Structure 1
Amino acid sequence: MKTLKTLIFAACAATVMSCSSDDDNREITAPEESNGEITGSELVGEITEDSKLLASIEYTITGSLTVKEGATLTIEPGTVIKAKSGRTDVFLAVERGAKLMAQGTATNPITFTSDAASPKAGDWGGIVLAGKAPSNKGTDVQSEVAGLFYGGTTNDDNSGELTYVIAEYTGAKINGESEFNGISFFGVGSGTIVNNIVVNNGNDDGIEFFGGTVNVTNVFCSNIADDMFDWTEGYTGTIDNAFGVRNDGFDVASEDPRGIEGDSNGSDATATPISMPTLNNVTILNLNPGVALKAGAEIRRGTVATINNLLFATYGSASFENRIDTADDKGDGTVTLTDAYAQGNVGEDKIGGDINGAITVIEDGITVTADNTVTGKAGIGADLTAFDWASPSFVVIK
């Protein structure tokens, strides 16, 4: 394999609304002895050979950055990657057959954030990965953002690793139908390692799975305008230890923000594979009295979900309209609950399909105080201490 690594800069990505400057149409090469280390601070275009981002350099993504099939992008622990704010063509995409090895640590996480002096939700796109695992939309589907093809028959497909990764101020809106999420998994397989992930201040969903089989452990979504955790197209993976929260004062919201939204297929609820994820140890918390969550979990359009150890909670006058909603005119859903709890103003269930299992009303699943302290009770919902490495902050009603 050649040791000369090249970062090719494209003038404009085919799927975006606007082009970068003419200076983007250039080529940056790393010396042969660098082992693919990218030493220029500006990132845009196509990575066609194995390359590495260094913690010693503060990078800025200024347009679409795509890891091409056959290439691997490695990111060192502690690397900070900023994104040029205010545009819809700024994102990191990993093609089917490529890999992203973002291996941070608890003491040196990898951070993707906005370059704005006053950052806000929607400043840039987000992280988009495509794989060869099944989708009930087909085996050669194109993603709604970044223009990646995904899907296939390889359940254990490997798109790399995301460990101790923070993505902030994501969710740029392209048009009324297409918006980036914090992290999007399109047909990503179970050979991909994903754990200890944080999405903060997103203008659409926190994380979303479009088919695929990837498993995720320890995922925290804070201040998400739409759905904290979302899946569709036959997702069959497992999500372990998930915590979603909307803080007081985060008033950016879609028409129907939810903790969890689970679809299988909106055109054909019987399309296979059916979405059948398992969620273990989940807490959905609303601290914002000005924005009600439409549902703690909306399980619909053919989805069959299993949720073990679930807590829906609010503080003060914050609320949910519904706890679990399984009714939908494009197909009802089915959810099986084990050890499910509700605390605060979390509404009632809206049953269209089946809800198997009961939700127990409690008063001490989570403790929230006016000095911005949030504490979970051991054994109830998510283990919040798993996210101490990210130093999460909470804003509660004063």
Structure 2
Amino acid sequence: MRKLFLSAMALTAIVCGMSFTSCSDDENATDPNPDDNNPSATEEAEDLPGEIREDLTLDANKQYYINGTVHVNEGATLTIPAGMTIRAREGFSSYILVERGGRIVAEGTADAPITFTADDETQAEPGYWGGLILNGKARISHATGENGEEPVIEGSTEVDTNYLYGGEDDTDNSGVLTYVKLLYTGARSSADIEHNGLTLNAVGSGTKIENIYVAEGADDAIEFFGGSVNVSNLLAINCDDDMFDFTQGYTGTLSNCYGRWESAFTSTEEDPRGVEADGNLDGNGPDHIQQSDFTIENMTIETLSSTQSMQDAIKIRRGATATITNALVKGSGAIENLVDLTDSKSNADSATSIQVTKEATNVEADQNSSNTGNGTVTIEDGHTGCPTNIFGWTGYTL
């Protein structure tokens, strides 16, 4: 999401983020497939086309590169075989955008996941390349229209405003993502325009997204801009800003999600969080309809960072309604607020309900002092959070 960038901290993050191992003393963060860092010289290499205008199934015997923006056009489907590694050249413009009416089918398996990563992992760092963006036709928050005018029910893609998302089809289908890894994502062109690992713009519930691993990325691991897609089994490791971000009228469910900062993690952002949720885009539409009203089930937020304070483990604001059950916040890292339901633009909707167990040992405040009346927060023992045995396929040990 758009936010202030702390340039004074950037050098620290760059030095810290040179590789999985240089930013952490946790050996779990290493690439579970080190042999993939050096594709065979005999393997045929090919750049993905900039425009995919008709159905394209990638050849499992080739090495593919993202060398500039790849658009999957309306009516076309990009199919990626299980076990394939796609490598991205360095830069903001290296990313895949699935346009409205286009589809991506990336069906990995636990034994043969699909990996999107840097072309040279030995030199990669968070923000090395863009990421994966899906644009759908589901509803987003919007104004009602004035003087008989039709309401605007579309939004523009943050990294390229020429491409729109949104509509009135909450069951829209943008494809399949299963057993997919997204590594070193989050390139930025400015302090306000930056990629996430996985960006879901008005993606509909007909889309299948489960078993996703986002690691060592700049900005957010995942961000939902409206839409109704359900996402399950999501692991986010050392992502620079928010682990799980919701805005612009999102109405789906995120289940079985685990976010971790390792001991040496340092963010370049002003206000990194576990959960950040807005009812409308940037809080600029408090009177809009279709405000975010979503569910999170079985969530763990863990910070072990000795150098970075997390502003809020859970932040719900700007008209959003969140129902969060079986949440666990743990770790030795500093957290300013366990839960904050307030904001200068507007607070969380009063229907917000959060059930969370606090096992974190360095929390300044359980709730922001002005939370009263903005929702129901129950801090109690017994919530177990996200199961960890579902992430064995990533090669990362929790």
Indicate the SS of the match to 1:63. coil
8 Å CA contact 1:313–1:346 kept in 2: the answer is no
8 Å CA contact 2:304–2:331 kept in 1: the answer is yes
8 Å CA contact 1:224–1:253 kept in 2: the answer is no
Tell me the TM-score normalized by structure 2.
0.82
8 Å CA contact 1:301–1:328 kept in 2: the answer is yes
The question of 1:103 aligning with 2:121 is answered no
**Aligned partners of 2:132 and 2:377: how far apart in 1?**
36
Query: In the TM superposition, what are the counterparts of 1:12-23 in structure 2 within 5 Å?
Result: none
Cα displacement (A) at 1:338: 3.3
**Aligned partners of 1:387 and 1:139: how far apart in 2?**
37
The equivalent residue for 2:219 is 204
Which deviates the most, 384-393 or 276-285?
384-393
The question of 1:66 aligning with 2:71 is answered yes
**Aligned partners of 1:142 and 1:327: how far apart in 2?**
27
**Aligned partners of 1:340 and 1:269: how far apart in 2?**
31
Greater per-residue strand proportion: 1
The equivalent residue for 2:181 is 166
| Alpha-carbon spacing, 1:68–1:40, altered in 2? closer, same or farther (3 Å) | farther
Cα displacement (A) at 1:68: 0.3
The equivalent residue for 2:83 is 78
The equivalent residue for 2:385 is 381
The question of 1:178 aligning with 2:193 is answered yes
Indicate the SS of the match to 1:145. coil
The equivalent residue for 1:156 is 171
Give the residue type in structure 2 aligned to 1:55: A
The equivalent residue for 2:94 is 90
Report Cα offsets for 1:344-379 as digits up to 9, x if no partner: 22332114352314112x5xx8xxxxxxxxxxxxx6
**Which of the residues 128, 133, 140 maps onto 1:135?**
140
| Alpha-carbon spacing, 1:54–1:344, altered in 2? closer, same or farther (3 Å) | farther
Report Cα offsets for 1:119-171 as digits up to 9, x if no partner: 11000000000000001144232111144210000010000010000000000
Query: In the TM superposition, what are the counterparts of 1:363-374 in structure 2 within 5 Å?
Result: none
**Aligned partners of 1:355 and 1:287: how far apart in 2?**
28
Query: Percent of aligned positions with the same letter in both sequences?
Result: 41
The equivalent residue for 2:145 is none
Cα displacement (A) at 1:343: 3.1
**Aligned partners of 1:287 and 1:339: how far apart in 2?**
19
The question of 1:271 aligning with 2:275 is answered no
8 Å CA contact 2:223–2:245 kept in 1: the answer is yes
**Which of the residues 342, 355, 367 maps onto 1:349?**
367
**Aligned partners of 2:315 and 2:173: how far apart in 1?**
29
The question of 1:358 aligning with 2:378 is answered yes
Indicate the SS of the match to 1:281. strand
Using CA pairs under 8 Å that are at least 6 residues apart, name the structure with larger relative contact order, 1 or 2: 2
Which deviates the most, 192-201 or 243-252?
243-252
Tell me the TM-score normalized by structure 1.
0.82
The question of 1:54 aligning with 2:71 is answered no
**Aligned partners of 2:328 and 2:375: how far apart in 1?**
16
The equivalent residue for 1:144 is 158
The question of 1:332 aligning with 2:337 is answered no
The equivalent residue for 1:296 is 313
**Aligned partners of 2:379 and 2:260: how far apart in 1?**
20
Indicate the SS of the match to 2:296. strand
**Aligned partners of 1:152 and 1:393: how far apart in 2?**
40
Q: Which consecutive residues of structure 1, in runs of 5 or more, have no partner in the other structure?
A: 1-38, 366-378
8 Å CA contact 2:45–2:63 kept in 1: the answer is no
**Aligned partners of 2:198 and 2:154: how far apart in 1?**
20
Q: Which consecutive residues of structure 2, in runs of 5 or more, have no partner in the other structure?
A: 1-43, 143-151
8 Å CA contact 1:128–1:146 kept in 2: the answer is no
**Aligned partners of 1:300 and 1:104: how far apart in 2?**
36
Give the residue type in structure 1 aligned to 2:384: I
8 Å CA contact 1:53–1:79 kept in 2: the answer is no
Report Cα offsets for 1:88-118 as digits up to 9, x if no partner: 1100000000000010000100000011232
Indicate the SS of the match to 1:227. coil
The equivalent residue for 2:14 is none
